[in-house]
């Protein structure tokens, strides 16, 4: 089906296949899939019965993989190579629900990471936070991911020892020799 030149130049035209890929991956967030598994999951049919159909199916597969790469560029899908194969999964940003109306919003307006203070064991809680915007109620924040990270905490004794070592360092400046003071009494 042909599209207008304006739609072609904007390049923001979403296809049904793109929506099917994203919904397939969103329903199965816990795993990552190869392009062949995604094609089978959304029933993207290809045939290899005759040489002519094989050529057309090869182009269809290439278009499908190009569509996956475009989704990676748009940051809607994440790709990693594991054991020599490319796997695709949904991005970590996920879906957030507005706390007031319950509307699901898929794209965060802004994302950042934040780490808390370390506990006695030296572990910190790092949070991945997203800022979402509801069309009715405005912006709200959601914690998208929590992760414990290990850091080394210095004890009071270690910091005191460090301060002592710093205080013991000899200065590298040369001391100026003092001239002896002349006695005013010696003239008398």
Q: Do 17 and 74 fall into the same domain?
A: yes
Taking only the tens place, the pLDDT of each residue in 10-62 is: 665 567 788 888 888 888 888 888 888 888 888 877 666 677 666 667 777 88
Domain that holds residue 138: 96-150
For residue 22, tell me if it sits in a domain: yes
Contact of 111 with 96, CB cutoff 8 Å: no
Find the CATH number of the domain harbouring 22. Answer: 1.10.10.10
Query: How do beta strands 85-90 and 96-97 pair?
Result: unpaired
CA gap 111, 130 in Å, rounded: 4
For residue 6, tell me if it sits in a domain: no
Q: Do 121 and 137 fall into the same domain?
A: yes
Taking only the tens place, the pLDDT of each residue in 35-47 is: 888 888 888 776 6
Mean pLDDT, all residues of the chain: 76
Q: Do 17 and 78 fall into the same domain?
A: yes
Supply the pLDDT for residue 158: 63
For residue 170, tell me if it sits in a domain: no
Tokens (6 digits) for 188: 């008398």
For residue 107, tell me if it sits in a domain: yes
Report, as an integer, the average pLDDT of 68-88.
84
Q: Do 17 and 83 fall into the same domain?
A: yes
Q: Do 58 and 15 fall into the same domain?
A: yes
CA gap 175, 88 in Å, rounded: 68
State how far the alpha carbon of 113 is from the alpha carbons of 33, 131, 147, 181, in Å: 27, 12, 10, 65
Query: Tokens 């910190």 map to which residue?
Result: 124
Taking only the tens place, the pLDDT of each residue in 160-169 is: 666 666 665 5
pLDDT of 95 over the 80 cut: no
Report the domain count for the chain: 2
pLDDT of 188 over the 70 cut: no
Query: Tokens 């307006």 map to which residue?
Result: 109
């Amino acid at each position: 089906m042909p599209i207008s030149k304006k739609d072609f130049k904007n390049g923001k035209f979403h296809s049904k296949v793109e929506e099917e890929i994203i919904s397939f991956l969103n329903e199965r967030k816990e795993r990552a899939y190869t392009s062949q598994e995604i094609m089978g999951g959304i029933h993207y049919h290809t045939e290899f019965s005759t040489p002519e159909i094989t050529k057309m199916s090869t182009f269809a597969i290439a278009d499908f993989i190009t569509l996956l790469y475009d989704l990676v560029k748009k940051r809607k899908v994440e790709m990693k190579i594991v054991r020599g194969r490319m796997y695709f999964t949904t991005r970590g940003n996920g879906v957030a629900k507005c706390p007031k109306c319950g509307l699901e919003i898929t794209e965060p307006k802004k994302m950042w990471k934040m780490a808390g203070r370390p506990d006695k064991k030296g572990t910190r809680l790092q949070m991945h936070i997203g800022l979402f915007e509801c069309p009715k109620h405005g912006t709200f924040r959601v914690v998208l991911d929590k992760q414990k990270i290990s850091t080394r905490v210095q004890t009071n004794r270690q910091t005191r020892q460090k301060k002592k070592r710093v205080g013991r360092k000899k200065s590298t400046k040369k001391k100026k020799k003092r001239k002896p003071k002349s006695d005013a009494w010696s003239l008398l």
